[in-house]
Amino acid sequence: MEHVVIIGNGISGITAARHIRKLSDKKITVISAESDYFFSRTALMYVYMGHMKFEHTQPYENWFWEKNRIHLKKGYVKSIETKNKTLYFSNGDILKYDKLIIATGSKPNKFGWPGQNLKGVMGMYHKQDLENLEKYAPNNKICKRAVIIGGGLIGIELAEMLNSRNIPVTFLVRESSFWNGVLPEGESAMINRHIKNHHIDLRLSTNLKEIISDENGKVRSIIIEETGEEIPCDVVGLTAGVTPNIEFIKDSGIETGKGIKVNQYLETNIKDVYAIGDCAEQHEAIGQRRPIEAVWYTGRMMGETLAQTICGNKLQYKPGHWFNSAKFFDVEYQTYGWVFAKLRKHEAHFHWKHIDDTKCITVCYNKITNEFLGINTFGIRMRHETFDKWLTEKKDVDYVVNHLPDANFDPEFYKHYEKDILATYTNKLQSV
Amino acid sequence: MSNQINPSMSLAKPEANDLSVKQKLAVAFGVIGLLIFGLAIFNTNFPNKTLFLTISIGLITLGIILFAIDSYLTKHEGIKNDGVWFKSMSSRGILAWVTGVLLTSFYIILYFFPMYLGLSSNGEANTGLISLFDPLSKLLSGNPASQWFVYGTLYTLAILAFGYKFMLKYRHNRYEQLRTASVMFFQLGFAFLIPEFMSRLNVSPDYNLPYYDLKSIWPLNYYLFDSWSVNGLLSSGSLGLLMLIFGVISIFVVSPILTYKYGKRWYCSWVCGCGALAETAGDSFRQLSSKKLSAWKLERWLIHAVLVFSVIMTTALIYTYLGQDPNKFWLTRSAFLISVGLILTLIFSAVMLFKRNELGKDARYGSIGYFVVIAALFIMYYTGTTDEIFLIKSSSLRSAYGLYIGSIFSGVIGTGFYPILGNRVWCRFGCPMAAVLGFQQRMLSKFRITTNGGQCISCGNCSTYCEMGIDVRAYAQKGENIVRSSCVGCGICSAVCPRGVLKLENDSIKGRINSNDILLGNDVNLIELIKR
């Protein structure tokens, strides 16, 4: 029986394992050094905030794995010998495979800041990071202030987490506005205000110079690059993006760039070795996507696709229309299609914002053909299926703005804003 | 690392959950209010009962309202679940156990030893706690209070005060606000005030109305067809007859139509009194329901067993009632039995004919089993094997049901164990009305919870906060609509979802039950391939 070994029990690896089991009778082993069972990484924040216990983040009951004959092995893979298809573990264990799927995800970026390895300095990615945070920031007596470096999705989540325990937060963002490499100006500005409304000390266009240690090797303060200001703190969160977690394959002969290089079939340069999820890097970007997509959804889709290939139905990874979502404190965000922060050639944006400053949308379209290209929505839930259909049918922007009620996904009895949006849209057209 | 999971992963108590000064004050008000009840139980004879009753009820209400205002209005609109698993009360800590024991003891005393609350016998004046409520009871119905009046008042008070708290907690969510306003209205009006006012009619010898909460529908209202209830209604002129007819129409006409259009939520989380208490006073315990597959299995067997029990019990009761005076009613014993048999057979064959494929294996065995039992009992009766319908005297069936289901299951366990087992134990495992509505919801209704394409991140908030113990995430992460008998449509899964994945909807029957192996967003060819 063919033995499929998967390194990594995150969403990519587990999706691959589940689908391989559905399609075949192969022997499956999933290896993880992080946790005994699959858990939802995106839910770790809710454990710290007390919304859930850790076991609630596990989507399957513990008996599920044995029942589906998916073997789970706890251990850290130290190196891979691809010639004789063998994995070597840090504790001396050895495991043979016939097909190998690498799905080891990411690790937080560290840009060589002085003091970046001090006690109390941490990312917010792994289960161990959460345990670390519990140790250094259990409450606002032990952690009098925390500083977060890096204004992305994990940074704002960490701010929300610390805020839930009344720990004062200083949030250093390199850019001139929160996440403005991704969000258009109006949206980014609204989120800036929303962050400040939650009493977060948001510092835009601000970089970290160094982290200062106390006598015990624990963080005491940080110094700001631009002003030289020293901010005393007990915890520093490093959330300036993530990098593929691939150290251990360095000497294996598997080709790497930033991540593990794969073709559209998710194959590496070595036969029978595949890579999926955050750690995979496409030789050539697919459509307008980035070569490395560190997103829950794409990890899952790669797992779904690769399972087909492994089980004899060779299939390219061809994701459909881009979509994503996040939550910024109390404001939900969804996106369908492409809305870039900076307008590309022939692109135009239609932006609408509600006066309460927690709801807005941005519609991106082609100025010449009027084709609808994508939408960002904040504080209004919209229907994935509807936008996927409109994008496939290449609807024009008039059609989309006029039919927004069809795409509404807010709970029943919620106030609707489509009329207001349409009126704003019509006014804009007239004034142009 | 060991398999042991630290419950909160917290080494020190998270400071954020300490009480504010206003909250401490609110707790003091509430406890002083309760203390007056406590003194009354130990027979303190308050000089001015009206005054002390007003003070205690006022203080308790004020305490809850002040606490809620300081908890929610000082923060932004949004989900307020910070620290739920750190707080003793909401995570089965010492406060939860103390509350559970106190509540359970209260129910045991209420149902089985009401004299300890001060209920009088032989027409003497009430004492203790019950006497404290005499002024209010006299004001409303003109009669002295009973243990049920005390219970009804406290029950209504809890729904109103905690309902207000719930509305503040979800002040960004109009669905939650409207349905809470609805249960508060039905509890205060239909369950509390109207029956009290109606009993004033009984002063006239023409009226002999039983206590009747019009929104409480058979089989939840299992005593509707008791002989004292039917006799009372029939001896109260056209009003009584009208009420009896309303009761019958509710279950056979109103309920099927509304459940078809809106799902069982129209009743369970918009009207029902049990649901009202669970959603308001019980809201802090919704995360305690078990999401295990084994709990779901137990639920399916238990709730349907209670339903069968209640159908048999009611059939036997009415059968016996009709036999007391064969010439009194147009409905004869045999006509009644035949029509019950016909209705059951009709429902059974319709399901087997049209919905066979939607039933799980055990559901099919279960329903066949129950049908065979009922059929066998009918046959036994008609072939003269036994004189007693269903082998047992109907009165013993009725008293067993009243004791085990009506009192112990719905009250002592259902509400007493809120802080340990969650707030919908009765609704999930025991309520025969929920079983009927859920059966229809699963088979013939426009209601479902739609999942939003591929947007689920499997975080588990929806499953954690489902009071009915539905593993919502299991469906959402597969892009599958949630169509479950037990769903009461409280809407909390949708509210707590951080990615806008869940929406309660009434839509066409077609495509209501869907199942996707590959979620929206991936290769269209792959999605097509899997569908084939």
| CA–CA separation, A16 and A307 (whole Å) | 5
- Domain stops at, among B397, B422, B447: B447
Q: Looking at CA atoms only, how far is residue A205 from chain B in angstroms? A: 27
Cβ separation B499–A325 shorter than 8 A: yes
Residue B495: list chain A partners with CB under 8 A: 411
Q: Are B362 and B454 part of one and the same domain?
A: no
Residue of B84, B498, B521 with shortest CB distance to A332: B498
Q: Which of A97, A40, A126, A11 is nearest to A274 (CA)?
A: A97
Q: Encode B269-303: b = buried (16+ Cβ within 10 Å), e = exposed.
A: bbbbbbbbbbbbbbbbbbbbbebeeeebeebbeeb
Tally of CB atoms within 10 A around B467: 27
Q: Which residue has 């007693």 as its token pair?
A: B388
Q: Which residue has 């029943």 as its token pair?
A: A412
* B4 located within any domain: no
Q: Which of residues 18-47 of A touch B (CB under 8 A)?
A: 19, 22, 35-36, 40, 42-43, 46-47
| CA–CA separation, A262 and A280 (whole Å) | 6
The reply to whether A121-240 shares the fold of A3-107+243-310 is: yes
Strand partners, B482: B449
Q: Which residues contact A203 (CB under 8 A, 6 or more apart)?
A: A170, A171, A172, A173, A224
Q: Using CA coordinates, name the residue in chain A closest to B14.
A: A139
Q: Are B117 and B193 part of one and the same domain?
A: yes
* B221 located within any domain: yes
Q: Are B22 and B78 part of one and the same domain?
A: yes
pLDDT tens for B40-87 read 988 888 888 999 999 999 999 999 999 999 999 999 999 999 999 999
Q: How large a percentage of chain A has pLDDT more than 70?
A: 100
Over chain A, what HEC string results?
CCEEEEECCCHHHHHHHHHHHHHCCCEEEEEECCCCCCCCHHHHHHHHCCCCCHHHHCCCCCHHHHHCCEEEEECCEEEEECCCCEEEECCCCEEECCEEEECCCEEECCCCCCCCCCECEECCCCHHHHHHHHHHCCCCCCCCCEEEECCCHHHHHHHHHHHHCCCCEEEECCCCCCCCCCCCHHHHHHHHHHHHHCCCEEECCCCEEEEEECCCCEEEEEEECCCCCEEECCEEEECCCEEECCHHHCCCCCCECCCEEECCCCECCCCCEEECHHHEEECCCCCCCCCCCCCHHHHHHHHHHHHHHHCCCCCCCCCCCCEEEEEECCEEEEEEECCCCCCCCCEEEEEEECCCCCCEEEEEEECCCCEEEEEEEECCCECHHHHHHHHHCCCEHHHHHHCHHHHECCCCCCCCCHHHHHHHHHHHHHHC
CA-to-CA dists, residue A81 to A87, A267, A270, B89, angstroms: 6, 17, 11, 54
Q: What is the token pair recorded at A338? A: 């492409």
Cβ separation B9–A48 shorter than 8 A: yes
- R_g (Cα) of chain A, nearest Å: 23
Q: Are B438 and B491 part of one and the same domain?
A: no
Q: Using CA coordinates, name the residue in chain A closest to B473.
A: A59
| CA–CA separation, A46 and A42 (whole Å) | 9
**pLDDT at position B7, please?**
44
A75 touches chain B (CB under 8 A): no
Strand partners, A350: A363
Q: Looking at CA atoms only, how far is residue A246 from chain B in angstroms? A: 22
Cβ separation A52–B521 shorter than 8 A: no
Q: Which residues contact B397 (CB under 8 A, 6 or more apart)?
A: B312, B313, B316, B317, B390
pLDDT tens for A119-152 read 999 999 999 999 999 999 999 999 999 999 998 9
| Confidence grade of residue A409 (pLDDT, cut at 50, 70, 90) | very high
Q: Is the ipTM of this complex over 0.85?
A: yes
Cβ separation B524–A320 shorter than 8 A: yes
pLDDT tens for B252-278 read 999 999 999 999 999 999 999 999 999
The torsion region of residue B333 among left (phi > 0), alpha (psi -120 to 50) and beta comes to alpha
Cβ separation A59–B3 shorter than 8 A: no
* B465 located within any domain: yes
Residue B323 has pLDDT above 80, yes or no: no
Residue B6 has pLDDT above 70, yes or no: no
| Confidence grade of residue B390 (pLDDT, cut at 50, 70, 90) | low
Residue of A61, A198, A414 with shortest CB distance to B293: A61
Domain limits, chain A: 3-107+243-310, 121-240, 323-431
* B10 located within any domain: no
| CA–CA separation, A18 and A101 (whole Å) | 13
- Domain stops at, among B201, B233, B264: B201
| CA–CA separation, A431 and A367 (whole Å) | 16
**pLDDT at position B261, please?**
96
pTM > 0.90: yes
A301 touches chain B (CB under 8 A): yes
Q: Which residues contact A97 (CB under 8 A, 6 or more apart)?
A: A3, A4, A5, A29, A85, A86, A87, A272
Residue of B10, B15, B460 with shortest CB distance to A141: B15
Round the average pLDDT of chain B to a whole number and report it.
Answer: 87
Residue B394 has pLDDT above 80, yes or no: no
Q: Which residues contact B140 (CB under 8 A, 6 or more apart)?
A: B193, B196, B197
| CA–CA separation, B474 and B87 (whole Å) | 27
Report long-range pairs for B359-364 (Cβ below 8 Å, ≥24 apart). Answer: B362/B297, B362/B300, B363/B300
Specify whether the CB–CB gap between B430 and B307 falls below 8 A. no
pLDDT tens for A37-82 read 999 999 999 999 999 999 999 999 999 999 999 999 999 999 999 9
Residue B11 has pLDDT above 50, yes or no: no
Q: Which of A254, A260, A183, A256 is nearest to A12 (CA)?
A: A260
Q: A161 or B341: whose pLDDT is higher?
A: A161
**Residue A210 main-chain phi, psi, to 5 deg:** -160, 160
Specify whether the CB–CB gap between A178 and A192 falls below 8 A. yes
Residue of A138, A197, A384 with shortest CB distance to B455: A384
**pLDDT at position B4, please?**
40
Cβ separation A56–B463 shorter than 8 A: yes
Cβ separation A51–B82 shorter than 8 A: yes
| CA–CA separation, A96 and A82 (whole Å) | 10
Q: What mean pLDDT do residues B506-525 have? A: 82
Q: What is the token pair recorded at B409? A: 């299951």
| CA–CA separation, B372 and B375 (whole Å) | 5
Specify whether the CB–CB gap between A236 and A223 falls below 8 A. no
* B437 located within any domain: yes
Q: Looking at CA atoms only, how far is residue B264 from chain A in angstroms? A: 16
| Confidence grade of residue B391 (pLDDT, cut at 50, 70, 90) | low
| Confidence grade of residue B15 (pLDDT, cut at 50, 70, 90) | very low
**pLDDT at position B384, please?**
54
**pLDDT at position B8, please?**
47
Q: What mean pLDDT do residues B328-341 have? A: 78
Q: Are B395 and B435 part of one and the same domain?
A: yes
Q: What is the token pair recorded at A27? A: 């022997």
Give the orientation angle of helix B147-169 with respect to helix B174-186, to 10 degrees: 170
Which range is least confidently modeled, A286-290, A324-328, B228-232?
Answer: B228-232
Q: Are B222 and B186 part of one and the same domain?
A: no
Q: Which residue has 């399957």 as its token pair?
A: A60
Tally of CB atoms within 10 A around B346: 10
Instruction: Tell me how far apart the 2 most distant CA atoms of chain A are, in Å.
Output: 72
Residue type, B190: F
Round the average pLDDT of chain A to a whole number and report it.
Answer: 96
Angle, CA B380 vertex, CA B252 and CA B352 arms, to 5°: 45
Residue A413: list chain B partners with CB under 8 A: 174-175, 178
* B462 located within any domain: yes
Q: Which of A160, A152, A123 is nearest to A45 (CA)?
A: A160
Q: What is the token pair recorded at B54? A: 């007003």
Q: How far apart are the first and last CA of chain B?
A: 44
Cβ separation A330–B494 shorter than 8 A: no
Residue of B5, B522, B524 with shortest CB distance to A55: B5
pLDDT tens for B162-185 read 999 999 999 999 999 999 999 999
Return the SS3 of B217.
coil
Q: What is the token pair recorded at B492? A: 């909390």
Sheet holding A372-378, edge to edge: A323-328, A331-337, A372-378, A360-366, A347-353
Over B240-294, what HEC string results?
HHHHHHHHHHHHHHHHHHHHHHHCCHHHHCCCCHHHHHHHHCCHHHHHHCCCCHH
| Confidence grade of residue B17 (pLDDT, cut at 50, 70, 90) | low
Residue of B1, B17, B457 with shortest CB distance to A296: B457
Cβ separation A384–B458 shorter than 8 A: no
Half-sphere exposure of B330 (CA within 13 A, CB side): 0
- Mutate which: B481, B514, B526, vs A, most A CBs within 10 A: B526
Sheet holding A146-149, edge to edge: A121-122, A235-238, A146-149, A169-172, A201-203
**pLDDT at position B91, please?**
94
Residue A46: list chain B partners with CB under 8 A: 459-461
Strand partners, A260: A256, A280
Residue A96 has pLDDT above 60, yes or no: yes
Count the domains in chain B.
Answer: 3
Helix (H) or strand (E) holding B439: helix B432-443
Specify whether the CB–CB gap between A150 and A243 falls below 8 A. no
**pLDDT at position B321, please?**
79
Q: How large a percentage of chain B has pLDDT more than 70?
A: 92
Residue of A49, A56, A383 with shortest CB distance to B464: A56
| CA–CA separation, A56 and B501 (whole Å) | 18
Specify whether the CB–CB gap between A60 and A38 falls below 8 A. yes
Q: Looking at CA atoms only, how far is residue A84 from chain B in angstroms? A: 30
Q: Which residue has 């500083």 as its token pair?
A: A147
Question: Architecture of domain A3-107+243-310 in CATH?
Answer: 3-Layer(bba) Sandwich (3.50)
| CA–CA separation, A38 and A8 (whole Å) | 9
**pLDDT at position B389, please?**
59
Cβ separation B83–A164 shorter than 8 A: yes
Q: Are B390 and B456 part of one and the same domain?
A: no
Residue A59: list chain B partners with CB under 8 A: 458, 460, 473-474, 477
| CA–CA separation, A175 and A192 (whole Å) | 12
Cβ separation B5–A56 shorter than 8 A: no
* B5 located within any domain: no
Q: Using CA coordinates, name the residue in chain B closest to A306.
A: B526
Q: Where are the alpha helices (DSSP H) in B69-193?
A: 94-112, 128-132, 134-140, 147-169, 174-186
Cβ separation B16–A381 shorter than 8 A: no
Residue of A131, A313, A381 with shortest CB distance to B500: A381
**pLDDT at position B527, please?**
78
Owning domain of residue B411? 204-447
- Domain stops at, among B412, B431, B447: B447
Residue of B1, B500, B519 with shortest CB distance to A332: B500
Q: What mean pLDDT do residues A10-24 have? A: 97
pLDDT tens for A365-404 read 999 999 999 999 999 999 999 999 999 999 999 999 999 9
**pLDDT at position B521, please?**
81
* B1 located within any domain: no
**pLDDT at position B324, please?**
60
| CA–CA separation, A164 and B10 (whole Å) | 14
Which range is least confidently modeled, A386-390, B4-8, B393-397?
Answer: B4-8
Q: Looking at CA atoms only, how far is residue B518 from chain A in angstroms? A: 7
The answer regarding whether domain A121-240 maps to CATH 3.50.50.60 reads: yes
Q: Looking at the domain covering A323-431, what would its CATH class be?
A: alpha beta
Cβ separation B526–A315 shorter than 8 A: yes
